[in-house]
Amino acid sequence: MTVERHGRHGRKWLLNSGLIILLLSFTGCGGSSAGQDDQVEQLKRTVTALEQLTSTPQATETAILVPSPSATVRACGLDEITDAKRSVVRLESNEGTGSGFLLKNGTIVTNAHMVGYSQSLSVQFGDGTRTTASVFSVDETHDLALLVPAHVPNSLGLEWGDSSLLRGSQTVIAIGFPLGLAGEASVARGSVSRTVTVDGIEYIQTDTALNFGNSGGPLLDECGKVVGVVTWGISVAEGLGFAVSEREARSAVATLAAAPSSPRVRTPVETVEQFLSLIDQQEYNAAYGLLSSR
């Protein structure tokens, strides 16, 4: 901001100097009485102008625009994540326990490996409501599945965000049921490490704490929008998890919604392999349920 001002003494000096110059000019001029009257009037007008000039500070300022409170944009935070948490579901199938999330259209998104060869799953919503969901379609390439629940609580459902806006070190939140723990969903906060393409599919690499059971749950931005679907992590490395990016997942889910897929049938060898995998994860009920379902 540039400001030009005369001090009190500077203004007084300027006024006095102007008066002296005018008085000298006036006394040095001869002429008729009428001419002198004109000069007196001119002198008065000049004195008045000088007084106004010196009594008001002259300034040149740069305006600063301050937005009104109504124009202030509130940052997203805890409220949005708390609301999003209500739309994350706990899933149980012959493959074990995992996570999923409800979309605004009433369908549930999860991982294909979470669904496995099951045709229906047990669903628990964030408010404790329980129902079942049938498998509508499965995309093994993107490791995604679309479920249709028999009942959906009111006012639930997440919206897609925009994964293309994510940058390294940006905060992301994973909500799910790690290790199949009972109770409400767990919330884990981390950051984006990078985006990486594996076998032609874009993933978001994150240092957010992810464990067995987080699979199929949403990866959210701070506004509670889905920017990825948690799919896999590296158990021998800390802070190395991956989620199918929103750009990939949204397109894949739209394709899944267009037509149902045929039921998947497990071979005897695959049954044994899955049984041993469930035992290794200490998912004993699911393991023996797998055998009893055949």
Could you give the residue numbers annotated as active site? 113, 143, 215
CA distance linking residue 5 with residue 17, whole number of Å? 18
* Residue in the structure block whose two tokens are 């998912």: 283
Residue 146's contacts (CB-CB under 8 Å, 6 or more residues apart) are 107, 108, 109, 135, 136, 137, 138, 253, 256, 257
Yes or no: say if 122 and 93 are a contact pair by the CB < 8 Å rule: yes
The closest of 175, 173, 167, 218 to 195, measured between CA atoms, is 167
DSSP string, 12-39: HHHHHHHHHHHHHHHHT----HHHHHHH
CA distance linking residue 103 with residue 163, whole number of Å? 17
Residue 249's contacts (CB-CB under 8 Å, 6 or more residues apart) are 109, 142, 144, 226, 228, 229
- Alpha-carbon Rg for the chain, nearest whole angstrom, is 37
Going along 115-265, which residue ranges are E strands? Answer: 120-124, 130-139, 144-149, 171-176, 186-198, 201-206, 218-220, 226-233, 241-245
Yes or no: say if 248 and 143 are a contact pair by the CB < 8 Å rule: no
Yes or no: say if 212 and 280 are a contact pair by the CB < 8 Å rule: no
Going from the C-alpha of 290 to that of each of 110, 180, 268, 285, 294, the distances in angstroms are 20, 17, 11, 9, 7
